[in-house]
């Protein structure tokens, strides 16, 4: 028995206009598979790069899916599925190859291992805005960089979904977030979100300001979304034996390494956390507990209604005008 699904596909590389909404047929879930009715999608920069052919792996054409992040409800579970049953609210774990399992659609078939329970009482829009941003910030800062109370943390590209989540993760750990943004237009909003200091990179020297704001000492951790040649310069903002974590490449040029040894440099991809059952459990617990106690509060940049707005949502993401997460309500 098959199920009809409206699904976003692209048949060539390019801008938002290559995305099309098409009717396809999904088979009944097989062993270890779960059919999910999608209620909301969270957009990620990786999906724009994937669509354009500049992500770290290439799409499978001529018909590729897209989308890491969805919140929905289980419609049916295949043989051998033990963790989920029809009616369960779930989130996609974003630990899969996009062409095969991309979640842009009103229904999607996923392996059981590609789902996590949606935290109790969390609506679909909030859920779609939460998983990737908070697990990336938690995995990179806590599990990879060893964030502890008192650390001073420099977060670049802080108005992004991960950036705004990282501010809250740092605050929740009892540490101090110092953030960058390209122009002053988002300064006030970033302070409202919990940033201790905001450095406007178009007007200020990021390294000098980070040093000044830390009394000349430097920050303990840098969480960098930009990459490129500027990554090397960030080494000058870090204390001796500090840590730099690169998780994004808004600058698509090769990432240059700093020479301010001794320090530690990590390249972080979230599959390091979400690729194992134990990692998903830790990430889900951190997210659920933070949403429950109010220390984690997803920041919504804009919510679009309907799959037919997916192109508009991608255009907004690429404009960089938003702060926080862009969500498409299905």
Is residue 155 within 8 Å of residue 166, measured between CB atoms? yes
pLDDT in tens, 136-156: 999 999 999 999 999 999 999
Specify the CATH number for 134-271; select among 3.40.50.720, 1.10.3430.10, 3.20.20.100, 3.30.479.30. Answer: 3.40.50.720
pLDDT in tens, 7-39: 999 999 999 999 999 999 999 999 999 999 999
Cis peptide leading into residue 10 (ω within 30°): no
How sure is the predictor about 253, in pLDDT bands with cuts at 50, 70 and 90?
Answer: confident
Tokens of 275: 């690729």
pLDDT at 274: 95
Burial label, 119 (beta-carbon count in 10 A; 0-12, 13-18, 19+): buried
pLDDT at 324: 86
- List C-alpha distances in Å: 277 to 113, 114, 137: 8, 10, 18
Average pLDDT for residues 189-213, to the nearest whole number? 95
pLDDT at 320: 86
Tokens of 247: 């998780």
- Mean pLDDT (the chain) is 95
- What is the total residue count of the chain? 330
CB atoms within 10 A of CB 46: 21
pLDDT at 149: 98
Q: Are strands 33-42 and 325-329 parallel, antiparallel or unpaired?
A: antiparallel
Positive or negative torsion for Cα 141, 129, 100, 50: negative
* pLDDT > 90? residue 252: no
How sure is the predictor about 323, in pLDDT bands with cuts at 50, 70 and 90?
Answer: confident
How sure is the predictor about 251, in pLDDT bands with cuts at 50, 70 and 90?
Answer: confident
**130: helix, strand or coil:** coil
* pLDDT > 90? residue 273: yes
Tokens of 308: 């037919």
Which residues pair with residue 25 across a beta bridge?
A: 4
CB atoms within 10 A of CB 94: 24
Tokens of 79: 């043989």
Q: How far apart are CA 272 and CA 275, in angstroms?
A: 6
* pLDDT > 90? residue 174: yes
Q: How far apart are CA 273 and CA 9, in angstroms?
A: 28
- List C-alpha distances in Å: 139 to 239, 247, 275: 21, 10, 12
What value does the CA radius of gyration of the chain take, rounded to a whole number of Å?
20
Which residues pair with residue 223 across a beta bridge?
A: 155, 245
Helices (H), ranges, 70-160: 98-101, 124-128, 131-138
Question: Any idea where the domains of the chain sit in the sequence?
Answer: 2-130+298-329, 134-271
How sure is the predictor about 321, in pLDDT bands with cuts at 50, 70 and 90?
Answer: confident
**Backbone torsions φ then ψ of 100, nearest 5 degrees:** -80, -40
Is residue 283 within 8 Å of residue 261, measured between CB atoms? no
The whole-model pTM stands at: 0.92
pLDDT at 261: 84
Does domain 2-130+298-329 fall under CATH 3.40.50.880? My reply is: no
pLDDT at 280: 96
């Amino acid at each position: 028995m098959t199920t009809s699904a409206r699904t976003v596909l692209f048949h060539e590389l390019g801008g938002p206009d290559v995305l099309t909404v098409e009717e396809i047929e999904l088979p009944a879930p097989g062993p270890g598979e779960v059919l999910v009715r999608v209620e909301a999608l969270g957009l990620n920069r990786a999906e724009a790069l994937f669509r354009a052919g500049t992500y770290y792996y290439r799409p499978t054409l001529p018909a590729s899916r897209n989308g890491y992040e969805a919140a929905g409800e289980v419609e049916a579970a295949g043989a051998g599925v033990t963790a989920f049953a029809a009616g369960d609210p779930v989130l996609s774990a974003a630990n899969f190859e996009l062409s095969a399992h991309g979640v842009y659609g009103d229904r999607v078939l996923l392996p059981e291992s590609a789902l996590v329970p949606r935290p109790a009482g969390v609506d679909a829009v909030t859920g779609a805005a939460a998983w990737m941003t908070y697990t990336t910030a938690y995995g990179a800062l806590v599990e990879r960089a060893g964030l502890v109370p008192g650390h001073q943390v420099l977060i670049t590209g802080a108005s992004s979904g991960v950036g705004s989540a990282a501010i809250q993760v740092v605050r929740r750990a009892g540490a101090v977030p110092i953030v960058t943004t390209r122009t002053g237009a988002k300064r006030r909003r970033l302070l409202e979100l919990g940033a201790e200091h905001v450095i406007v990179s178009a007007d200020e020297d990021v390294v000098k300001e980070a040093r000044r704001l830390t009394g000349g000492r430097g920050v303990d951790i840098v969480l960098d979304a930009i990459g490129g040649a500027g990554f090397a310069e960030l080494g000058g903002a870090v204390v001796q034996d500090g840590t730099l974590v690169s998780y994004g490449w808004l600058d698509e040029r090769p990432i240059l390494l700093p020479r301010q040894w001794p320090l530690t440099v990590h390249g972080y991809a979230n599959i390091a956390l979400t690729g194992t059952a134990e990692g998903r459990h830790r990430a889900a617990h951190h997210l659920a507990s933070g949403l429950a106690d109010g220390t984690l509060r997803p920041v919504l940049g804009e919510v679009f209604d309907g799959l037919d707005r997916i192109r508009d949502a991608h255009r907004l993401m690429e404009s960089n005008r938003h702060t926080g997460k862009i969500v498409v309500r299905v």
